[in-house]
Structure 1
Amino acid sequence: MAAFDTPSLVSLAAAAAGAASHGGKAGQDAGAKAEKARQKLLSARYTNIYVWIMAALLGCLILRNLSLTAARFFDCRRRRQAASSEKGRRNGFDAYNDKPAVLRWSDKVDSLALKPVRGLPTDWTYLRLILVTAIVIVNTVFCLVGSTQLHSAQSAGSSIARAFSRRCGRIATANYPILFMFAGRNSVIVKLTGLSYQSLRFYHILLGFIAFVESFVHTIAYIAHYSIWQGKDKLAQEATETYFKWGIVAVVFMLTNCLFGLKWLRRRSYEIFLLLHVVGAALILAGSWYHRPIMQDWVYAAVAIWIAERVFRCIHHVGSVVGARFFLRSPLVKARAEVRDGAITLSVPADGQTWTAGQHVYLSFWGLDLLHRPWLFGWSQSHPFSISNVPSNGTTATREMRFVLRVHGGLTRELARHIARRSEATDGQAVDCWVSVEGPHGSAPAAAEFDTLLLVAGGSGITHPLSIAADVCRRAAAGQAVVTSKIKLVWALHRLEQAAWVQKTLEETRSWAEKANLDLSVSLYVTRTASADTSGTSSPSSSASIDDEKKEDHGEEVNVGGKCRKHSGRPDVNDEVARAVSDSSGRTLIIACGPEPLANEVAKAATPYLSSGVKVDIARFEC
Structure 2
Amino acid sequence: MLPLSLALVALFWSQGICDLLKKNQVCVDAIFEAFGDLNFEGVGYGEYYVSICNNSLKVNSIYATAKTYCKPEDIEPGFAMLAEYCTDYAEVELLPMSDFTENLTDSYISSMRVIDYEEVAEFDNITTTVLLSRAYYRASWRTVTTWDFETWSHHTFGFALYGFWGGILLLAMINQFINVVFHKRQSRVSTDPEHNAPLQDSSSSKSLAPIHTVNHWIRANIIVPAPFGSHHQRLYYWCAVPTRLEAIIVLSYWAINIIFSCLHYRAFIGNLYWNNISPQVWRYVADRTGILSYANLPLLWMFSGRNNIFIWATGWSFSTFNIFHRHIARIATLQAIVHSIAYTEMYLIGGYYKEEYDELWFIMGVVATVLMSFLLVFSSVWLRKRYYEAFLLIHIVFSIVVLVGLFYHTDIYDGEYDPYLWPPVAIWAFDRFLRIVRLVFCNLNLRFSGKKLQHTNTIASYSKETDAVRLEIIPGSAFLKPNPGQHYFLYQPLSWKGYENHPFTLGAWTSASENDASTPTHTTSSKKMESDIIVSTAAVSSGSGSASSHSDHSPTSAPSDISLIFWVRPFNGWTRRMRNACLNAPNGIVTRSNILIEGPYGERAPVHNYETVILIAGGTGIAAAVPYIQDHIRRSSPRQKDGQLTFSTRTRRIELVWTCRQAGLIKNIANRELAPVLARDDVHAAFFCTRDSGAMTTTASSEAASEISPVEDKEFSMAAARDCDIKIEHGRPDVRGTILQTARSITAEGAKAGKIAILVCGPAGMADEARAAVHTAMKEGCRSVEYIEEAFGW
Q: Give TM-score scaled by structure 2 length.
A: 0.66
Q: Which amino acid aligns with 2:154?
A: S
What's the CA shift string for 1:519-578, capped at 9, x where partnerless?
A: x2222221113xxxxxxxxxxxxxxxx6xxxxxx8x443347764321112222222223
Q: Which residue of 1 aligns with 2:659?
A: 492
Q: 1:337 aligns with which of 456, 460, 484?
A: 460
Structure 1 residue 320: Cα displacement: 6.7
Q: Could you tell me how far 1:403 is from its partner in structure 2?
A: 0.3
- For 2:730 and 2:162, locate their aligned partners in 1 and report how far apart those are by CA, in whole Å: 55
Aligned ranges 1:436-447 → 2 under 5 Å: 436-447=596-607
Code of the aligned partner of 1:172: S
Q: Deviations over 1:354-385 (max 9, x none)?
A: 1221221111123x4x2xxx22x2xx211111
* Cα distance in 1 between the residues matched to 2:193 and 2:790: 33
Q: Does 2:742 align with 1:587?
A: no
Give 1:230's aligned residue: 350
Query: Match for 2:311: what amino acid?
Result: V
Task: Kindly provide the CA deviation profile for residues 154-178 of structure 1, in whole angstroms up to 9, marking residues without a partner as x.
Answer: 5479510111111001011101111
CA 1:308–1:110: 2 relative to 1, 3 Å: farther
**3-state DSSP class of the match of 2:507?**
coil
> Of the candidates 419, 422, 438, which is equivalent to residue 316 of structure 1?
438
User: Among 768, 776, 783, which residue is 1:608 paired with?
Assistant: 776
In the alignment, which residue of structure 2 is the partner of 1:346? Answer: 471
Q: CA deviation at 1:52?
A: 2.6
1:30-109 superposed matches below 5 A: 35-73=146-184, 75-76=185-186, 80=188, 83=190, 88-90=195-197, 94=201, 108=216, 109=218
Distance 1:317 1:98 in 2: 48
Equivalent residue for 2:577, pick from 395, 404, 414: 414
Pairing 1:270–2:392 present: no
Alignment match, 2:502: 383
Alignment partner of 1:572 is 2:729: no
Residue 587 of structure 1 deviates from its aligned partner by 2.6
1:288-321 deviations in whole A, cap 9, x for unaligned? 2221243211001221122121222222222379
C-alpha distance 597-87 of structure 1, shift in aligned 2 (>3 A): closer
Q: Which residue of 2 aligns with 1:536?
A: none
The residue type equivalent to 1:493 in the other structure is C
Aligned residues: 571
Match of 1:166 among 283, 287, 294: 287
Q: CA deviation at 1:55?
A: 2.2
> Structure 1 residues 14 and 276, CA, compared in 2 at 3 Å: closer, same or farther?
farther
Give the C-alpha shift of residue 118 in structure 1.
Answer: 3.5
- Alpha-carbon distance between aligned partners in 2 of 1:330 and 1:10, rounded to the nearest angstrom: 67
Contact between 2:230 and 2:768, CA under 8 Å: does it hold in 1?
no
Closer/same/farther in 2, CA of residues 58 and 605 from structure 1, 3 Å limit: closer
Cα distance, 1:277–1:399 mapped onto 2, change above 3 Å:
same
Q: Is the 8 A contact 2:191 2:197 kept in 1?
A: no
Q: Secondary structure at the match of 1:121?
A: coil
Q: Does 1:121 align with 2:231?
A: yes
Query: What is the identity, as a one-letter code, of the residue corresponding to 1:119?
Result: G
Q: Contact 2:158/2:292 (CA < 8 Å) preserved in 1?
A: yes
1:558 partnered with 2:698: yes
- When Rg is computed on C-alpha atoms for both structures, the one with the higher figure is 2
- Flag the 1:295–1:505 CA change in 2: closer, same or farther, 3 A: farther
Tell me which moved more, 278-287 or 203-212: 278-287
Q: How many Å separate the matches in 2 of 1:242 and 1:13?
A: 33
Asked whether the equivalents of residues 32 and 155 of structure 1 are also in contact (C-alpha less than 8 Å), the reply is: no
Map 1:396-415 onto structure 2 (within 5 A): 397-415=560-578
Match of 1:23 in 2: 117
Distance 1:89 1:186, change over 3 A: farther
**Contact 1:390–1:471 (Cα < 8 Å) also in 2:** no
Give yes or no for contact 1:337–1:433 (8 Å, CA) kept in 2.
no
Query: Structure 2: 5+ residue runs without aligned partners?
Result: 1-5, 35-114, 122-135, 233-240, 444-451, 515-558, 640-646, 701-719, 747-752
Equivalent residues of 1:16, 1:31 under 8 A apart? no
Deviation at 1:96, TM superposition (A): 6.2
1:211-255 CA-to-partner distances (Å, cap 9, x unmatched) read 00111111111112222x213xx1122111111111111111211
Instruction: Tell me: CA distance 1:442–1:403, structure 2 relative to 1, closer, same or farther (3 Å).
Output: same
Q: Give 2:615's match in structure 1, choosing from 455, 475, 481.
A: 455
Give the 3-state SS of the residue equivalent to 1:457 in structure 2. strand
Q: Distance in 1 between matches of 2:659 and 2:355?
A: 64
- Structure 2 equivalent of residue 533 of structure 1: none
> 2:696, 2:728 within 8 Å by CA — same for their partners in 1?
yes
Which residue of structure 2 lines up, in the alignment, with residue 532 of structure 1? none
Query: What amino acid sits opposite 2:743 in the alignment?
Result: V
SS at match of 1:280: helix
Which residue of the partner structure matches residue 650 of structure 2? 483
Partner of 2:87: none
Decide whether the 8 Å contact of 1:355 with 1:391 is kept in 2.
no
Contact 2:509–2:562, Cα closer than 8 Å, also in 1: no
Identity %: 22
- Larger deviation, residues 90-99 vs 108-117: 90-99
Amino acid at match of 1:308: F
Instruction: Note if 1:525 corresponds to 2:688.
Output: yes
Question: Measured at CA, do residues 53 and 569 of structure 1 come closer, stay the same or move farther in structure 2, by a change above 3 Å?
Answer: closer
Question: Residue 469 of structure 1 contacts residue 509 of structure 1 at CA under 8 Å; is this kept in 2?
Answer: no
Shift of 1:430: 4.5
SS in 1 for 2:677: helix
Would the alpha carbon gap of residues 139 and 70 (structure 1) be closer, same or farther in structure 2, given more than 3 Å must change? Answer: same
Deviation at 1:23, TM superposition (A): 0.6
Once the two structures are overlaid, the 10-residue window that deviates more, 42-51 or 96-105, is 96-105
Alpha-carbon separation, structure 1, partners of 2:736 and 2:179:
33
Change beyond 3 A, Cα 1:576–1:120: closer
Between 1:54-63 and 1:6-15, the stretch displaced more is: 6-15
Deviation at 1:91, TM superposition (A): 5.5
Contact 1:92 1:587 (C-alpha < 8 Å) held by counterparts: no
The Cα of 1:95 is off from its aligned counterpart by 6.8
- 1:285 Cα deviation from its structure 2 partner: 1.4
Bigger drift between 194-203 and 330-339 goes to 330-339
Structure 1 residues 617 and 507, CA gap change in structure 2 (3 angstroms): closer
Q: Distance in 1 between matches of 2:214 and 2:423?
A: 33
2:708 maps to none
**After superposition, where does 1:3-18 map in structure 2 within 5 Å?**
14-15=27-28, 17-18=30-31
Name 1:550's counterpart in structure 2: none
- Within the candidate set 599, 603, 610, 2:767 is matched to 599
Distance in 1 separating the partners of 2:180 and 2:206: 13
Q: Secondary structure at the match of 1:528?
A: coil
CA displacement at 1:16 relative to structure 2: 5.1
CA gap 1:180/1:12 in 2 versus in 1, 3 angstroms: farther
2:629 pairs with 1:469: yes
Displacement of 1:208: 0.6
Cα distance between partner residues in 2 of 1:383 and 1:99: 49
Q: Is the 8 A contact 1:247 1:287 kept in 2?
A: yes
1:457–1:593 Cα contact (<8 Å) kept:
yes
Residues 1:69 and 1:614: Cα distance change in structure 2 (over 3 Å): closer
